[in-house]
Chains A and B, each alone.
Chain A
Amino acid sequence: MKEKIIIVGNGMTAVKFCQKMVDANLLDKFDLTVVGEEPHYGYDRVHLTSYYTGTSVKELHLAPKEWYNENGIEVIKNTKVIDLDKIKKTVLLDNENVLNYDILVLATGSSAFVPPIEGREKDGVFVYRTIYDLSLIKEYVKEAKKGVVIGGGLLGLEAAKAIMDDGIESTIIERSPWLMGRQLDKRGASFLHKKLDAHGLNIITDTNIARFTGDDKVTGVEFIDGTSIDTDIVIISSGIKARDELAIKAGLEVGKAGGILVDEGMQTTYPGIYAIGECALAMGMIWGLVAPCYEMAEVLVERLKGNEKSFIGSDMSTKLKLIGADVASFGDALGMAEDCIPLMLENKFTHVYKRINISPDGKYLLGGILVGDASDYNMLLQIYKNKILLPPNPESLLTGASQGGGFKLSVLDLADNAVICSCEGVTKGKICAAIENDDVTSVAGLKKCTKAGTGCGGCVPMVDDILTATLKKQGKEVKKVICEHFEFTRQELYDIVKMEGIKTFSDLLHKKGHGAGCEICKPLTASLLASIWNEPIVKHQQIQDTNDKFLANIQRGGTYSIVPRIPGGEITPEKLEAIGRIGKKYDLYCKITGGQRIDLFGARVDQLPVIWEELINEGFESGHAYGKSLRTVKSCVGSTWCRFGLHDSVSFAIEIENRYKGLRSPHKLKGGVSGCVRECAEARGKDFGIIASEKGWNLFVCGNGGANPAHAQLLASDITAETCIQYLDRFLMYYIKTASPLTRTSKWLDGLEGGMDYLKEVVINDSLGMAEQFEKDMQLLVDTYKCEWKEVVENSELRNKFKAFANSDEPDSNIKFVSMRNQKMPTPW
């Protein structure tokens, strides 16, 4: 006779318990019945906010109905357990049915804690806990302009983000002196505060609320100091309260501040009744994260198997991205352990704060905090969890591998029992076994097979690293294929297109791919066709991204911007006047770009050809600002005028810009030429930079500005202008041929085995024997250059494609502008 287990509650812990029971083959000994009060199957509450932004309830379900049916688990939804008789071993449901059990598992979870603030019953005051709560908020928010979130913890910040995204002016109110008090120290929180502030979230800390004001509907929040703010909606997210009412009614012992008291085997104070998840008070605390709750489910399953597993606490590490700010905290984040030594890094320039707490002997990592840049979170978490001996200079952990710091943890260094996914408790050994024994070759496959990465998802990059390293160890090649339509890397496709003389996307798709293509492989192919054959890109209009399709940059509001080429930044007063006249005629917003040219914004698609026609008549040509192609070659004024200048940097910049104009590449390309070492052209911040030396030119390559600035590195020094161009031809063609899509030269160099030394061998010493070919390929591109806009302007069929509607000559009446500093601007999003 099977024993009957009733599980009260159908949240994440209950689902996990059922799954673990199935996995442990315990269903031939036990019958499971789950009673849940929500109208849904157990869903993923961690990603609840994604429901708000449009994910369906079904996608949030942790296990489908069919799974329960297959395993013979009974699920009673929409039903509450209202009483339990622990002597008779029965529970009473709110539909008056009585169920018998042999074992009772309380997984009642928690509810939102609502502080006893006057006016909390008013319309427009919500909690943020269930799908139902969120659906109410979503509806109510439609009428709201301002919103207040009470509570500056994890969930409060998520709630604030959700309504902010709906265009609500949001304010977070936190009682304690700083945000995320459980995870962050004061300094870390101040960095976060600044970041959120900059993103437009109002934050009020260290304050007490007196009441919510308004008649029936809430209209404001009043503080005890008498000040107040207006609001149309209040969302309370001030923490959780264990759902222990049933336990109290049955006379089970609960903690003073709530929570059903359990021992290390998850048993309550009455034999045969267990509690797991957020309703349980284990080791004196409520564990409000998914990993420890799953751990409790695991412990109980082991106990039911007859094993002596105990709950000994669990990892409370978290990593999340909040309104543009990365935040992570792990282990002993606040440095509570005696004598632990905190090391901190504060970068007020990049708004990054990092803190690690190390043991007094400097050997072990105990915990830490990351704000602004959490890219090293996984590495640090592994070092902490697996008690990996720290290097003699533990401060190198703060700069981290991602910033070129001295310590890089390889996944290969981890022991097999190292836990990679703490949500699901998956070890490195288990992941490797799946790859080695079950022939899993993708992260998606690993997720399915091991469940690693299916919780918070924070470990996915690490899982990917393990996959790559393990496959490599097996001698299998790990391919970075471009998308689901082509099983090739960009470099392979480059060779295929060139070798087989492929001239169109559909030809390539039919010969080498499958499906219908997508927004990744289509523009990539367009770029390859342009890099190899240099045919006008308008010929392949339907596979171009919109910028390349309309030869202009799409901007907010759906209008386009126009950038005529101004080589080297040199322009005559006449041409300057022409730009001014045309800008005025078509009412275009004007701005000088960083690349020494002029950007004209706010042109409707139907205006593009006429504006360009006028520009071309004035002697301008396309600036290719819309393409993954050469943008500008910036120059300083050079020896012609400058009293320090060594060589004529402007003439050289113009020559080079004209040589490579229109060149299509894996990403945009920028260049610079400086006339002396003062480097006024900032050439070392470019993909290629040329700086005058006493004896000639120094050529630097692979620099960029942007999000991760990199200085270009010296490729060759004291070379002639001719040699410089020769090396540039080789360098650029080698890059175009081998780089992955959307990879700037500096990232490409990072991934090039052998780095700069190897690149020098290829470019200068022709170690691949390809130099001649590279130069020939480049010369073909230079010789076949045509101004794309000229082609369009002169071709009525092409011109016709530049209109808003295929069935009308009307312009798009949806386009609206506002005025700012005497110029027009798009209406904001």
Chain B
Amino acid sequence: MTSTTNIITPAKAIIWHKTVKTIDIPQNGGVAVLIDGQQIAIFNFTEKGEWYACQNLCPHKMEMALSRGLIGDANGEPKVACPFHKKSFSLETGECLNDSCNNINVFPVKIEDDFVFVGL
């Protein structure tokens, strides 16, 4: 038996969804977008020159909140901290970095023609 990880490794080919313009996401900030009714958080991690996406739902108290969290890093690992109770999740792996929470789903991001695409 292994630990519980919820990271989805898409079995099928990734479907890229066009979301918003890159300038719609503030530097070192995040927004939530709706993709087919699903809430996804996207982060423009300017400090690291990276883009990240994950589920907007914080698994701790089931609040749609992660896009409103502060991003940063812990020992170099990029992360987002939920605004409700400061549970932190790795933006690379989705792993909960504090303690006791389930992991989150993270999704690939690509930038094309100044638009942000999320792969689901």
- Chain A interface residues (CB < 8 Å from chain B): 39, 50, 53-58, 131-132, 135, 484-485, 506, 509, 515-519, 521-523, 541-543, 545-547, 549-550, 554, 556-558, 801, 804-808, 810, 812, 814, 829
Contacts and interface: CB of A to CB of B under 8 A. Distances in A.
B73 A57 contact: no
Contact of A542 (B29, B76, B101): B29
| Best-buried of B72, B88, B100 by chain A (most CB within 10 Å) | B72
B3 A516 contact: no
B62 A808 contact: no
A542 B27 contact: yes
Contact of A805 (B31, B71, B81): B31
A664 B17 CA distance: 41
A807 B47 contact: no
A790 B24 CA distance: 23
A506 B72 CA distance: 12
Chain B interface size band reads 35 or more
Given A517-B47, A546-B83, A554-B84, A806 B32 contact: yes
Contact of A518 (B42, B64, B70): B70
B62 A50 contact: no
B120 interface: no
Contact of B102 (A54, A518, A807): A54
Interface in B56-85: 61-65, 68-76, 78-79, 81, 83-84
Q: Which 10 A-B pairs have the closest CB atoms?
A: A56-B3, A518-B72, A546-B83, A806-B31, A53-B100, A519-B81, A542-B29, A516-B73, A519-B70, A516-B47
A516 B72 contact: yes
Contact of B73 (A56, A518, A554, A801): A518
Contacts of B96: 54
A814 B66 CA distance: 14
A131 B99 CA distance: 17
B32 A804 contact: yes
A132 B1 CA distance: 8
A541 B71 CA distance: 12
Given A516-B45, A517-B47, A807 B100 contact: no
Given A543-B70, A546-B83, A549-B68, A515 B76 contact: yes
B90 to A, nearest CB: 13
| Best-buried of A519, A808, A829 by chain B (most CB within 10 Å) | A519
Contacts of B76: 515
A806 B29 contact: no
Contacts of A543: 28, 70
Given A50-B99, A518-B81, A57 B1 contact: yes
A516 B101 CA distance: 23
A602 to B, nearest CB: 15
Contacts of B99: 50, 53-55
Interface of B: 1-4, 19-20, 24-29, 31-34, 39, 42, 45, 47-48, 61-65, 68-76, 78-79, 81, 83-84, 86, 88, 96, 99-103
Contact of A546 (B31, B39, B64, B69): B69
A420 to B, nearest CB: 25
Nearest to A806: B31
Contacts of A509: 47
B3 A557 contact: no
B25 to A, nearest CB: 7
Contacts of A549: 68
A247 B32 CA distance: 62
A522 B26 CA distance: 15
Contacts of B73: 515-518
B28 A506 contact: yes
B45 to A, nearest CB: 7
Contacts of A807: 19-20, 24, 33-34
Contacts of B31: 805-806
Nearest to A505: B28
Contacts of B24: 806-807
A185 B87 CA distance: 37
Contact of B34 (A55, A518, A810): A810
Given A56-B2, A541-B26, A805-B31, 17 more contacts: A57-B1, A516-B72, A517-B73, A519-B70, A519-B86, A522-B72, A542-B26, A543-B28, A543-B70, A546-B83, A554-B84, A557-B63, A558-B64, A801-B26, A806-B25, A807-B24, A807-B33
A509 B3 CA distance: 36
B26 A558 contact: no
Nearest to A58: B3
A194 B26 CA distance: 49
Given A522-B70, A806-B19, A806-B33, A542 B28 contact: yes
B61 to A, nearest CB: 5
Nearest to B63: A558
A55 to B, nearest CB: 7
A545 B83 CA distance: 7
30 contacts: A50-B100, A53-B101, A54-B4, A54-B96, A54-B100, A54-B101, A55-B100, A56-B2, A485-B72, A516-B72, A516-B73, A516-B78, A517-B47, A518-B70, A519-B88, A521-B72, A522-B70, A523-B70, A542-B29, A546-B65, A554-B84, A804-B32, A805-B33, A806-B19, A806-B33, A808-B34, A812-B39, A812-B64, A814-B39, A829-B61
B2 A517 contact: no
Nearest to A605: B68
Contact of A57 (B3, B45, B61, B69): B3
A805 B34 CA distance: 6
A519 B72 CA distance: 7
B83 A554 contact: yes
Nearest to A813: B37
Contacts of A814: 39, 64
Contacts of A50: 99-100
Nearest to A557: B63
B75 to A, nearest CB: 7
Given A558-B63, A807-B20, A517 B72 contact: yes
